[in-house]
Amino acid sequence: MDKRKIQLLKQLIDQKGQYETMQSLAEQLGCSVRTLRNDLASFSVELEERGFPPVERKPGTGVRLVCEPEQWKELMRWSWELERTTPLEAEERQLFVLYQLLMSKTPLTIDSLAREHYVSAPVIRQDLKALAEICRPYQLTVRSIQSAGTTIEGTEVGKRALLSHTVKQLSTFSSKEKMLFQFFEPGEISVVEEAFDQLMRKHDVQFNSTELEGLKLHMLFTVKRLHLKQPVELPKEKVTSVRETVFYEWAAQLAKTIEEKIAVRFPVNELTYLALHFQSRHADQTQDDSHPQWVAELVQQLISEVADLFKLPLDQDQLLRENLMLHLTTTASRLGNGLVISNPLLKEIKKEYVHLFYFIQSVVESSWKNEQRSLPEEEIGYLTVHFQGALERQKVSETREVAVGIVCHYGVGVSAFIQAKIESRFPEIERTVTLSEDEVDTFVRTHPLAFILTTLPLEVAETPVLMISPLLHEEELDKVSDMLELTEQTFSAEMPSSFSLLDYSQPFLIHLQKEFETREEALTFMCQEIIRRGYVEEPYLDTVLEREERASTAIGKGIALPHGDSAYVNQPTISCMTLKEPIQWGNESVSVLFLVAVRKEDLKNNDAKGFFAYVHRLMDQTELLQRMKNEQNVVAFLSDFGEG
């Protein structure tokens, strides 16, 4: 079974017998509705051959899979096994092998790579030849030593550059694990996956794919914390509440399996924290739902604001809500006892998801503007991970209804025949509307249509039109299918993330090649400039400096994004400073500053999204960033770097 069908199986399992439209399924799988229709036909045959019911299709409603309770469990096991043992396509596999070689501190054998990727040793040897060509421009070589293994040799600069390129290439593939899971070593991911597999088999416990993904991610964060000797601390009452439950037993077994293969030891607090996550997945079990009022209020506020930011129905993601409630409830207990959880990937999270991190931080601060309460950056980082996971579960594009107009001059009976045939053949069309020739222009001005099918010549501004016969022959139905594919591509196109610095700044707010000894001096200069010109109120400077005292706003690669309390912003602006010599910024050295003085609502527009995408691009393009650091002319700076 190929990867798309495996993902289709997982989606149908996650629906739990509920209908899903063809359009929605196709978007989640990254294919056309026509391709999905073909997949479903062969997929149903494979299901029946294994003793499962075929996929049900209901015109105008969608598709679903209905099974007996025991069959659902068997389907979950089957999907898990398929996902683990299905080889990747050659290009993706080669990128993964390259990633593993770059990340590994010891040589990797061809046999071990072959076993992990479910291919033969000769296939891996061919992959290594292909990787040698990829490495050459970076002055790196692939070296294999018999009985020792294969490594990539060359400078650390070359390895880092190639690693950055590899991660970016991996993120273009559709698998959900390429985003959040890219922070972890492949060997650790494999061990954690195997441990969960053993747990589910031994205890006959099942998690759907999204729950399992979240639990694996939590465990990988735990392993990372333990490696850094930064275990979580929990109040004693939390430990007591789950110590004698089956959830603690599951956590202990999972930890034991991992400890046998990775050099870590799980303390009681970490086992308790994992048990709480298991408990939250079984809402029907007795559990302690007590939490401070602010937790529920903040969760609702965050979901509402981030949903509005991305125009996605995050309020319908029950897993996100449960994750946030659990995390913030334990956070409340920790903060109440003076405990702070470490976040071993905070720096990477701030770099990769800078816009989302910044936005969540602004929502929290806005919600608590009049309260003596704050949330550490480590916690903002974990909230960012929860939301990023939810975003990866969502389809990329905004949901839009597929509505089709039908214009027929042969009478009501023929119009009804065409309408019925279209709705029966294409369930992904949510709505069909029959119109007379005279009604068309008025209707489309207030009710956008994907396209119009017509039996007479017709021209409609900005709406595609397809001429058909009253009998709708097979070749005409194929053309309708093609029109639907074009519609899908149009609807799924991402919003452009272009950015112009001049939309938020002015030449007099660009400060190049400045010399300051401390970050306080640099920030005071930048803030005084925007205060003097009325962009922000005078207290803004104090809030910028206070934020830096709490946590550094450096995000890596010599870039910092200082910002203050948005309540003092009169007009959104972004000013930029480059430093002749880097200055110490927390634990990093910084030479490029973007002072981001914007309000929370400004972060929701496309210009702001474009700015953060632009900063991320700067971090990935070393040569571009270096040119920015060296530029001395403001006009040239705005010309070369003002558009992104």
Question: Mean per-residue pLDDT for 560-582?
Answer: 92
pLDDT tens profile 117-176: 777 888 899 999 999 999 998 899 999 988 889 999 998 778 877 876 776 566 555 333
Least confident of 223-227, 300-304, 588-592: 223-227
DSSP string over 26-81: HHHHTS-HHHHHHHHHHHHHHHHHTTPPPPEEETTTEEE----HHHHHHHHHHHHH
Q: What pLDDT score was predicted for residue 521?
A: 95
Q: What pLDDT score was predicted for residue 590?
A: 93
- In this model, does residue 83 exceed pLDDT 50? yes
Q: What pLDDT score was predicted for residue 560?
A: 92
Q: Does domain 403-492 have CATH number 3.40.50.2300?
A: yes
pLDDT: which is higher, 180 or 197: 197
Question: Which of 121, 126, 123, 119 is CA-nearest to residue 142?
Answer: 126
Q: What is the CA radius of gyration of the chain?
A: 28
- In this model, does residue 602 exceed pLDDT 50? yes
Rounded to whole angstroms, the Cα distance separating 441 from 603 reads: 37
Q: What backbone torsions phi and psi does residue 196 show, to the nearest 5 degrees?
A: -65, -40
Domain 90-173, CATH class in plain words? mainly alpha
Pull the structure tokens for residue 434.
Answer: 């029959």
Rounded to whole angstroms, the Cα distance separating 562 from 526 reads: 10
Counts of helices then strands in the chain (DSSP H, E): 26, 13
Question: Mean per-residue pLDDT for 455-474?
Answer: 86
Least confident of 85-89, 216-220, 242-246, 616-620: 85-89
Q: Does domain 188-280 have CATH number 2.40.50?
A: no
DSSP string over 87-123: PPPHHHHHHHHHHHHHH-SS-B-HHHHHHHHTS-HHH
pLDDT: which is higher, 644 or 381: 381
Q: What pLDDT score was predicted for residue 137?
A: 87
Q: 300-309, 335-344, 407-416, 487-496: which has the highest mean pLDDT?
A: 300-309
DSSP state of 621: -
Q: What pLDDT score was predicted for residue 269?
A: 87
- Residue span(s) of the chain under CATH 3.40.930.10 come to 501-641
- In this model, does residue 529 exceed pLDDT 90? yes
Superfamily holding 293-393: PRD domain (1.10.1790.10)
pLDDT tens profile 199-242: 888 887 777 766 787 788 888 888 888 887 877 777 777 778 78
Q: What pLDDT score was predicted for residue 543?
A: 92
**To the nearest whole number, what is the mean pLDDT of the chain?**
81
pLDDT: which is higher, 486 or 637: 637
- In this model, does residue 454 exceed pLDDT 90? yes
Q: H or E segment at 644? A: none
- In this model, does residue 327 exceed pLDDT 90? no
Pull the structure tokens for residue 20.
Answer: 């899903």
Q: What pLDDT score was predicted for residue 142?
A: 94
Least confident of 233-237, 315-319, 435-439, 624-628: 233-237
pLDDT: which is higher, 624 or 401: 624
Q: What pLDDT score was predicted for residue 35?
A: 79
- In this model, does residue 399 exceed pLDDT 60? no
- In this model, does residue 178 exceed pLDDT 50? no
Q: What pLDDT score was predicted for residue 544?
A: 93
Least confident of 175-179, 198-202, 256-260, 405-409: 175-179
- Residue span(s) of the chain under CATH 3.40.50.2300 come to 403-492
Q: What pLDDT score was predicted for residue 497?
A: 47
Q: Which fold has domain 3-85?
A: Arc Repressor Mutant, subunit A (1.10.10)
Q: Which fold has domain 501-641?
A: Mannitol-specific EII; Chain A (3.40.930)
Question: Mean per-residue pLDDT for 279-292?
Answer: 58
Least confident of 107-121, 521-535, 562-576: 107-121
Q: Name every residue whose Cβ is closer than 8 Å to that of residue 443 and which is 6 or more positions away in sequence.
A: 405, 433, 435, 449
Q: 4-13, 203-212, 350-359, 530-539: which has the highest mean pLDDT?
A: 530-539
- In this model, does residue 46 exceed pLDDT 50? yes
